[in-house]
Amino acid sequence: MSIINYVNKEIQFKIVYYGPALCGKTTNLTYIHSQVAEAHKGELVSLATAADRTLFFDFLPLNAVVVKGFKTKFQLYTVPGQVIYNATRQLVLRSVDGVVFVADSQWDKMEENIESFKNLEENLVRQGTSLDQIPYVVQYNKRDLGNPAPVHYLDFVLNNRKVRVPSFVGIATSGQGVFATLNAISRLLLQKFARENETAATKQQQRSATTSATTALSGIAAAAAHR
Amino acid sequence: MHAMPILTIQAAESLLKALEDFLEKSEASFALIIERGGSILSQHGEIPDTIDPTILSALAAGSFAATRELALRVGETEFSALHQQGRQSHILMSAVNDEAVLMTIFGPKTTLGLVRFYSAGAVKQIASVLDQACGEPQIPIDLGAEATDDSHDVFEEPSRHA
């Protein structure tokens, strides 16, 4: 669930880029950082090994004004993809609002993609949530490399839950599909926020109606007692 | 899923007041209240322009969570604070509750002992505000058209539009 601050007029969303090792999660963030205007981005922080592999996470804060009068902050994180870093992935997933699952389109990476997707589902369950509750999108990255699986096959393997989510083909090194993916997850988060906002408005109306009815009844009772 | 606090005007002001009192007494430079997922709930003090509190917050949440995990792995169930000693600036991170951490940055004007002493009181005060804020109903906002407009991109990619 997003964090809303009514004083600073800020809404914060946490988006986590998840996927197998070397699928292009960090490349997505690097490209986004290179394109977004200075005023709308913070520094890209990478906690990486000497060999530039993500050790803990990458972090990129972005700002937008999409909710009237409220600054909307999107905090983008990546997880380390290597299997051994599962404890770290669990830490990064804490309080996640939305997920981008980045898959490597190469045929020989299919097993790793499936394993990583299952791992995501398991780790969300550990957080007390699931992909039924959290908006997510899928990106089939590395379409430019030698032997990519067809998109319908990738959809069959990785996007075959009860509800199919938006999926995008990507070449993150050149930026293809990167912003389409980011905009899709941002929109899903805002739509979920709008639904929650509507529920909050309905509840507030119900509370006001109950309060008015109680006040009216007390008035009638007081008048009757006075007579 | 962890319950997120709803920072109403009253809750946000109470958090700010707790930080103000704490900084005044402890003479620390600045402090942040951080949700354990990495978001800032409140901040106060003299934060240098060169420091982005959003980044501090993400790193602090990661660092605190990783050290807590380490403590658990060696059989320690109690993990309430983490201290980083520098030459000029020092960091103290104190667990507020299961959902938040108080991060304090202090310099040579004060001492670790003093900061720790006053942070204990501040942590209790903050925990009480956050407990209450977690049960608060969300206040509806006038979202405006852009928020739900499917044709509107939240982020633009200048090089593709060029």
CA distance B142 to chain A (A): 7
CA distance B59 to chain A (A): 9
Quote ipTM for the complex.
Answer: 0.89
Q: Is the pLDDT confidence value at B57 over 80?
A: yes
Nearest CB to A43: which of B12, B55, B159? B55
Q: CB-based contact (8 Å) between B51 and chain A?
A: no
Quote the pLDDT of residue B147: 72
Averaged pLDDT for residues B10-24: 96
Averaged pLDDT for residues A56-70: 88
Q: Is the pLDDT confidence value at A227 over 80?
A: no
Is the Cβ pair A37, B8 closer than 8 Å? no
Share of chain B above pLDDT 90, in %: 74
Interface test with A, best of B153, B155, B160 (most A CBs within 10 A): B155
Quote the pLDDT of residue B50: 94
Separation CA B121–CA A102 (nearest Å): 44
Separation CA B93–CA A115 (nearest Å): 36
Q: Is the pLDDT confidence value at B73 over 60?
A: yes
Which tens digits make up the pLDDT trace of A103-118? 999 999 999 999 999 9
pTM (2 d.p.): 0.91
Q: Predicted confidence band at A52 (pLDDT cuts at 50, 70, 90)?
A: confident
Averaged pLDDT for residues A132-146: 96
User: To which residue do tokens 């942590």 refer?
Assistant: B123
Q: CB-based contact (8 Å) between A197 and chain B?
A: yes
Averaged pLDDT for residues B7-31: 96
**Alpha-carbon Rg for chain B in angstroms:** 18
Nearest CB to B6: which of A4, A178, A191? A4
Q: CB-based contact (8 Å) between A14 and chain B?
A: yes
Quote the pLDDT of residue A197: 85
Chain CA centroid to CA A38, Å: 22
Q: CB-based contact (8 Å) between A125 and chain B?
A: no
- Interior CA angle at B24 toward B91 and B46, to 5°? 55
Closest C-alpha to A32, from A2, A59, A70, A66: A59
Give, in order, the Cα–Cα distances in Å from A126 to each of A53, A162, A183, A219: 25, 21, 28, 52
Is the Cβ pair B52, A196 closer than 8 Å? no
Quote the pLDDT of residue A109: 97
Mean pLDDT of chain B: 91
Amino acid at A52: D
Sheet holding B40-45, edge to edge: B40-45, B30-35, B100-106, B90-95, B81-84
Q: Is the pLDDT confidence value at B55 over 70?
A: yes
- B66 to chain A: which residues are within 8 Å by CB? 56, 88, 91
Q: CB-based contact (8 Å) between A208 and chain B?
A: no
Q: CB-based contact (8 Å) between B78 and chain A?
A: no
Quote the pLDDT of residue A210: 77
- A124 to chain B: which residues are within 8 Å by CB? none
Q: CB-based contact (8 Å) between A38 and chain B?
A: no
Averaged pLDDT for residues A145-174: 96
Quote the pLDDT of residue A65: 77
Which tens digits make up the pLDDT trace of B99-122? 999 999 999 999 999 999 999 999
Closest C-alpha to A6, from B129, B44, B7: B7
CA distance B160 to chain A (A): 9
CA distance A5 to chain B (A): 5
Q: Is the pLDDT confidence value at B1 over 70?
A: no
Side-chain-facing half-sphere of B51: CA atoms under 13 Å = 16
Is the Cβ pair B159, A175 closer than 8 Å? yes
Quote the pLDDT of residue B3: 67
Q: CB-based contact (8 Å) between B14 and chain A?
A: no
Q: For strands A10-18 and A98-104, give the pairing.
A: parallel
